[in-house]
Amino acid sequence: MKKTSLIITNKKQTDHELVQVISDLTKNHYHVLLSDEVEKASAIDLLVIFLSIPETNDKISRVDLDQIDQQYQTVLLDRIPIIERALSLMGHGLDKRICFISDEEASISNTKRKENYGFQMISSSIHMFAALLFNEYRPQGYTFRLFSKKQGLTHAVPYFLKDRSYEAHDLKHSDEERFVIRNGWMQEQPW
Amino acid sequence: MRKTVLVTGADRGLGLAFCREFLSRGFLVFAGRYLQEWSELEELKKEWPETLVIIGLDVSDQKSVQQAANEFQSYGVGLDVLVSNAGLFNNHEGTLQTGINTQVTMKSFEVNSTGPLRVTQAFLPYMTSGDQRLCFVSSEAGSISNASRSFFSGYCMSKSALNMGVRLLFNELNPLGFKFRLYHPGYVQSYMLGEFNQEASISATESAKAAVEQFLEDRGEQEEVLLLEDNQGSVWGF
């Protein structure tokens, strides 16, 4: 019997290719649902959260901060009830894995950007949201992945599906108890 | 000529302590007032009638911020130091297991994340010369690398967003000569939890004094690095 994965995404703005990639790569083992189909699921094994944030090139003198507030509401907060619903269904799932797709450009330590306030700030907020979720759910056996899409999505799903070793000698994959962001080359990025 | 500072969220707690500290150092202080019913700023004004100016300021409201900037302009001075202190904490935010209060989370973002940028945007035209110091009160709660909580979600998320916003400002304005401080004030005896919290580990006066020392010190080439520092001068990861 196939497991169930659920992709939570603001579809209208999101690259449909992503949904296709995830669907293709998980179809042999997973029945893929989109967030508006959450009511069809009785259990969820794999949850993928990818929230697309509009990008702009406005520097501080021109940025529309009220618009960023609105984006925070529509991109993230409006999806909280769906995420809460999905989490309740994951209690019945087997894998209990929660995955985020983000972008390492949203590294506060590393970014060189001088603009794109909405994307950058909301992404950082989502990173913290994911870290808080990790703190709350990891003790209950849930596992987490946060993938940077900067180098593309090809390696996202294999990373989501791989069970990482708990062996100390396998350093690259010994961080299941930590919350990290990795890119397409599996490099850990700073927050 | 006196140096000038604007302090947001100056009504009480840390903001009021910032005003006292800058006044004692001879600054002309513009105090952003949000709580009309709170009288401590007026009492402070009696002590410093010539050098304390109280202006209405709701950092989450674009119109209020612009009105405050217009009022500042009428004094015909430049701004040397901006202290973005105004912050909101609500301990009824909930968690994903108990249910997140999205209204509270939204308000935290408007005040703690975009609020400081709104004020910076409006007051930057008055900072083209002078000390050019942009100081932001953030929190260790916004440090993703140190995140240990599963609660206070809206507050933590808002402070992470603020840290990113300050990073973008830094990338643009530091090469132009602006100096940045990102400050974690510690667990301060203040009204952040609603009632005055005497159990906290540091007084607002002590935290403000430590902060202003950091805000005003000259760091030479180290100004080219953005750090999140606490009242001991210890650095927190982002």
- Please report, for residues A23, A49, A81, B99, B108, the alpha-carbon distance to residue A88 in angstroms, rounded to integers and kept in the order given: 22, 15, 11, 11, 26
Residue A45's pLDDT band (cuts 50, 70, 90): very high
pLDDT of B187: 87
Q: Which two structure tokens, joined as six digits, stand for B125? A: 């035209």
Question: Looking at the predicted structure, is the pLDDT value of residue A11 above 90?
Answer: no
State the Cα–Cα distance between residues B153 and B189, nearest whole angstrom: 21
For residue B168, give the nearest of A72, A113, A127 by CB distance. A113
Question: Looking at the predicted structure, is the pLDDT value of residue A46 above 90?
Answer: yes
pLDDT in tens, A93-134: 988 999 999 999 999 999 999 999 999 999 999 999 999 999
For residue B16, how many other CB atoms are within 10 A of its CB? 24
Considering only CA atoms, give the Rg of chain A: 16
A71 → chain B, closest CA residue: B106
pLDDT of B194: 76
Contacting residues of B for A122, CB less than 8 Å apart: 161
Question: Looking at the predicted structure, is the pLDDT value of residue A166 above 70?
Answer: no
Give exposure, B166-199, as e/b (b: 16+ Cβ within 10 Å). bbbbbbbbbeeebbbbbbbbbbbbbbbeeeeeee
Q: Which A positions 131-150 lie with beta carbon below 8 A of chain B?
A: 131-133, 135-137
- Mean pLDDT for chain A overall: 89
**Contact flag B149-A135 (C-beta cutoff 8 Å):** yes
For residue B221, how many other CB atoms are within 10 A of its CB? 6
**Contact flag B114-A109 (C-beta cutoff 8 Å):** no
Contacting residues of B for A108, CB less than 8 Å apart: 144, 160, 163-164, 167, 238
For residue B113, give the nearest of A84, A121, A123 by CB distance. A121
pLDDT of A13: 62
Q: Which two structure tokens, joined as six digits, stand for B121? A: 């945007």
Q: How remote is the C-alpha of B227 from its chain's centroid?
A: 15
Contacting residues of A for B165, CB less than 8 Å apart: 117, 120-121
pLDDT of B149: 86
**A129 CB near a chain B CB, below 8 Å?**
yes
Mean pLDDT of B86-105: 85
State the Cα–Cα distance between residues B166 and B95, nearest whole angstrom: 27
pLDDT of B18: 98
Which of these, B30, B25, B103, lies nearest to A81 by C-alpha position?
A: B103
Please state which of the ranges A170-174, B60-64, B121-125 shows the lowest mean pLDDT.
A170-174
Q: Which percentage of chain B shows pLDDT scores above 90?
A: 83
Q: Give the side-chain half-sphere CA count within 13 A for A58.
A: 16
Question: Looking at the predicted structure, is the pLDDT value of residue B3 above 80?
Answer: yes
Residue partners of A16: CB distance under 8 A and separation at least 6: none
For residue B155, how many other CB atoms are within 10 A of its CB? 26
Q: Which helix H or strand E contains A22, and what residues bound it?
A: helix A16-26
Q: How many CB pairs under 8 A join A and B?
A: 136
Q: Which percentage of chain B shows pLDDT scores above 70?
A: 100
pLDDT of A65: 98
Q: How far is B51 from chain A (nearest CA, A)?
A: 29
Question: Looking at the predicted structure, is the pLDDT value of residue A172 above 70?
Answer: no
Contacting residues of B for A148, CB less than 8 Å apart: none
Question: Looking at the predicted structure, is the pLDDT value of residue A173 above 60?
Answer: no
pLDDT of B199: 85
pLDDT of A165: 61
Q: Which percentage of chain A shows pLDDT scores above 70?
A: 92
A178 → chain B, closest CA residue: B145
**Contact flag A72-B62 (C-beta cutoff 8 Å):** no
Contacting residues of B for A109, CB less than 8 Å apart: 237-238
Q: What are the two backbone dihedrals, phi and then psi, of residue B27, each rounded to the nearest 5 degrees?
A: -80, 155
Q: How far is B58 from chain A (nearest CA, A)?
A: 14
pLDDT of B216: 98
Question: Looking at the predicted structure, is the pLDDT value of residue B153 above 80?
Answer: yes
Cβ pair B144, A124 in contact under 8 A? yes
Cβ pair B83, B67 in contact under 8 A? no
Q: What's the distance, Cα to Cα, between the start and end of chain B in Å? A: 38
Question: Looking at the predicted structure, is the pLDDT value of residue A12 above 70?
Answer: no
Cβ pair A35, A9 in contact under 8 A? yes
Q: Which percentage of chain A shows pLDDT scores above 90?
A: 57
